[in-house]
Amino acid sequence: MFQEKNIKNVASGYVFKVLHLHFMKIFQNSLRNRIFIAMILLTLISSLLIAGMSIYQSREQAKDYHSKRLKRKEQAIKENIAYELGKTDFEVVTENLQFIFRDEIYGISDIHGMPVNMYDLEGRLIKTSKPRLKADILELQINKTILEGLNASDTKRYVIEFEEDGKKYLSSYSYITDSQFKTIAVLNLPYLENDDFMNYELREFLTRLSWIYVLMFLSSIVLAYFLSKYITKSISRISDRFQEINIAQRNDKIVIDETDAGELNALVMSYNNMVDQLEESAVKLATSEREQAWREMAKQVAHEIKNPLTPMRLTVQSFERRFDPSDPEAPEKLKEYSNTLIEQIDVMSNIASAFSTYATMPAQKSEETDVPVVTQLALDIFNESYITYKEDAESLYAIFDRTQLIRVVTNLIKNAIQALDETRDPEIKVTVSHDEKNLFLKVADNGSGIHEDHQGKIFEPKFTTKNSGMGLGLAMVKQIVENFNGTITMTTQYGEGTEFVVQLPLSR
C-alpha cells in the first residue's frame, strides 16, 4: 500500500511538471497559443456556467418547494379548523375562537408539525399553539403593513420572509371564515425553511460534477494542444518564410502540399505575388532613393539658409534707417549691429559645413548658455514696438547651442508675427522664467490662434497654415529643443491667440 501510494505521488508530480512546462509556453504570443488558450478558456467558462446554473437551479427549486409545501400545510390546517368550527357548540364568532380552540389548536399544531397562530381582524393575538411567544418571531399585534397587504391581495393570502437565529422562515397570513364564508380571524403559520438535506444533495452533486470537470479540463488541455498544433502547422511554415523576406536579395516563392492548399491557397498566392512586386519595387526604389534624399536635403538647406537671411536683412534695413555717424554712441551701435550679423553669418556657415559633410544641420554644440542674454540678443533684430520682453532673473543657464537658441527664438517670433490679427492691436510677449529645476521660454501672441483641426499637426514637418513657406520652422524648433533634453508645448484658443513654451533643464 505504501509503495503504491509513492508511485501515485511520483506519477502526479510528473504530470504536474509536464503541465507546468506547457503552461509556461502558453503565454508566448503566437496564433497557436491563442487557439490553445481560447479552447481552454471555453471549457473552463462553460464548466463554471454549468456549475453556477446548477447552484442557481437548486436554490430556485428549494425556494419553490418550500413555498408550495407551506401552501399545502396551510390548506390542510384550514380544513382542520373548518372541521372544528363545524362541530363546536359555541357560536362561530371572533370572540369565541379562543374557547373553541382552547385545546384543539395544540392537536392541529402537532399533527402538521408547525406553530399555529390566530389573530382577530384588528391584528390582535387570539390564540397560539406556542406556550411562550418569541418576540422576534411572533408579535402580539400584526403589523399594519401585513394587514394592508393581506387586504390588497387578490388571493387573500400574504407571505413574508424573515430570519431568526440564522434560520430562514416563511410566514403566511390568510383569513379564517365561517360556514357562510364570513371572515372571522387571521391565520398565521410560521414555517422553517430547512435546507439541510437539499444542501447535502447539492454538495454531493457538485463534488461528482467537479471530478467530471477535472477530467474534462485535462482532456481539453490535451485536445487543445494537439488540435492547435495541427491547425497552425501550415501557417507556421508560411510565417517562417515571411520572416525570411529580405528586400535586398531575391526571395523564393512558397510551394505547399496539395492537402494544405484549400485553406491556405489565398495566403500563399498573396505571398508569391508580393515577392514578384518586391523584385519590381526594389529596382525602382534603388533608382529613386538617392534622388529623393537629395531633394529632401535641398529643401531643408534652403529653409535653413532662409532663416538667418531674414534677420540679416532686417538688421541691415534697421541700420540704414537708424544709424547716425554723428551720434556719440555710433561706434557702440555699429558694434551691436555687427555682432548680430556675425551671429547669423555663423549660422549660415554652420549650415554650409553640415551640408558638405552630410551631418545634422547645423552642427550641434553643447555649451552652457545664458538664456536671458541670448534671448535678448535674438530680439534685437526685431524693431516692432509691440514685442515686449520680461524675465525673472538676469542669468539663467542651460546646456544649449547658442546659435541654435537664436534660431529657436527668431522662428517663434516670426511665427507669432505672421499669426497677428490686423483687426486688433498686435501684442507679442516674450518671457523667461524658472523654477527649481527648469527654465521656461514663453512666446505668446494675441493673433488668430490655431484651429482645432490643425493643432495636432502643428509640429509636423512640411505642415503649414500659411500661403508661403515649407512648414519646417516649428518642426525644426521641436527637434532642436528635444536634442537638448527639452520640450516644447503649445496652448491656443482659436481667434484669441497662441502661446509656445520651451522648457529646458537648468544647468546650475
272 belongs to a structural domain? no
Q: Which stretch, 99-108, 276-285, 307-316, has highest mean pLDDT? A: 99-108
| Residue 506: DSSP 8-state | B
Residues 392 and 493 in one domain: yes
Which grid coordinates belong to 242? 515571411
Q: Is residue 258 part of a domain?
A: no
The band of 318, judged by pLDDT with boundaries at 50, 70 and 90, is confident
Residues 382 and 487 occupy one common structural domain? yes
Residues 206 and 183 in one domain: no
Of the three residues 130, 164, 194, the one that is the final residue of a domain is 194
Last residue of a domain, one of 178, 211, 242: 242
Whether residue 215 is found in the same domain as residue 181 = no
Report how far apart, in Å, the C-alpha atoms of 242 and of each of 110, 232, 238, 284 are.
85, 15, 6, 22
Report which DSSP code applies to 81.
H
Residue 21 pLDDT grade (very low, low, confident, very high; cuts 50, 70, 90): low
- Domain containing 43 equals 2-55+199-242
- Cell triple for 73: 400545510
More confident residue, 291 or 360: 291
Residue 500's DSSP bridge partners are 443, 490
Same domain, 169 and 227: no
- The CA distance from 387 to 115, in Å, is 96
C-alpha cell at 439: 527654465
pLDDT of 498 above 50:
yes
Question: Which among 291, 292, 295, 344 has a CA at the least distance from the CA of 315?
Answer: 344
Q: Is residue 266 part of a domain?
A: no
Report pLDDT for 96: 87
Q: Verify that 163 and 217 share a domain, yes or no.
A: no
pTM over 0.75: no
The total of structural domains in the chain comes to 3
Banded model confidence at residue 291, pLDDT cuts 50, 70, 90: low
| 353 within some domain | no
- Within a domain: residue 401? yes
Mean pLDDT of 416-440: 90
Of 118-127, 133-142, 451-460, minimum mean pLDDT range: 133-142
Secondary structure (3-state) at 310: helix
Return d(Cα 406, Cα 377) in angstroms, integer. Answer: 8
The answer to whether the beta carbons of residues 371 and 342 sit under 8 Å apart is no
Q: Identify whether 220 is part of a domain.
A: yes
Say whether both 385 and 494 belong to one domain. yes
* Cell 373548518, residue located: 82
Other residues' Cβ atoms within 10 Å of the Cβ of residue 243? 8
Helix axes 473-483, 261-322, angle to 10 degrees: 100
Residues 38 and 139 in one domain: no
Does residue 456 sit in the same domain as residue 420? yes
184 vs 143, which has greater pLDDT? Answer: 184
pLDDT in tens, 128-180: 888 654 444 445 678 788 888 888 888 888 888 888 777 788 888 999 988 88
In a domain, 161, yes or no: yes
Residue 318 domain-assigned (yes or no): no
Percentage, residues of the chain above pLDDT 90: 13
Q: Does one domain contain both 203 and 143? A: no
Task: Please tell me the distance from the alpha carbon of residue 176 to that of residue 118, in angstroms, as a whole number.
Answer: 9
Q: Of the segments 225-229, 322-326, 375-379, which one has the largest average pLDDT value? A: 375-379
Half-sphere exposure of 261 (CA within 13 A, CB side): 7
Burial 316-327 (b: 16+ CB within 10 A, else e): eebbeeeeeeee
Locate all alpha helices (DSSP H) within 29-143, ordered by sequence. 31-87, 97-100, 104-112
Report the DSSP beta bridge partners of residue 400: none
In this model, does residue 17 exceed pLDDT 60? Answer: no
Within 13 A of 133's CA, how many CA atoms are on the CB side?
12
Provide the CATH number for the domain around residue 178: 3.30.450.20
Q: What's the CATH code of the domain at 496? A: 3.30.565.10
Mention every residue, 6+ apart, whose C-beta is less than 8 A from residue 374. 402, 405, 406, 409
